[in-house]
Amino acid sequence: MDGKPTNPAQKRYLARFIPTMAVYVAAIFTVSWVFNRYEPGGPLAWGLALLPALPLLAIIAIMGLYLREEGDEFVRNILVESMLWGVGLTLSIMTVWGFLEIYAEAPRLPSFWAFPIFCFGMGLAQPFIKRRYR
């Protein structure tokens, strides 16, 4: 989806997405600050490290909800196709880089990057998919 929201499902999506991303940004800053200042360890570190992941899990659920609520099947179709491109890009990069790490001592790519890569692939694919239907 792009531009301004045009239907209730898209408005609901944004109403969920924006505050959740705000929580994510706040969680990143807070957790980084806590780790820098207090250097927590053990179970506390695990708990704190999970905090920024929770809003991102919520984002995944929010994307799923939008897919279910979007009443325009063509719009839904484009979104699903772009998600498949995102999945394809993520799996490709992770697979290739994984072997480079194992055999060629490539620097470690944190698995955290899987989701941003997915979103990037999804966003990149959308205009190309839309152009096919023009």
Partner 1 sequence: MKNRLKVLRAERDWSQADLADRLEVSRQTINALETGKYDPSLPLAFRIARLFGQPIETIFDDGQA
Q: In angstroms, what is the minimal distance from the CB of 130 to partner 1? A: 7
7 or 20: CB nearest partner 1: 7
CB of 80 to partner 1, least distance (A): 13
Q: Max Cα separation, the chain?
A: 56
CA 117/CA 90 separation, integer angstroms = 6
| Coil, strand or helix at 6 | coil
| Residues of the shown chain interacting with partner 1 in the complex, contacts defined by CB under 8 A | 6-7, 71-75, 77, 130, 132-134
The distance of closest approach from Cβ of residue 77 to partner 1 in the complex, given in angstroms and rounded to an integer, is 7
Distance CA 79, CA 73 (A): 10
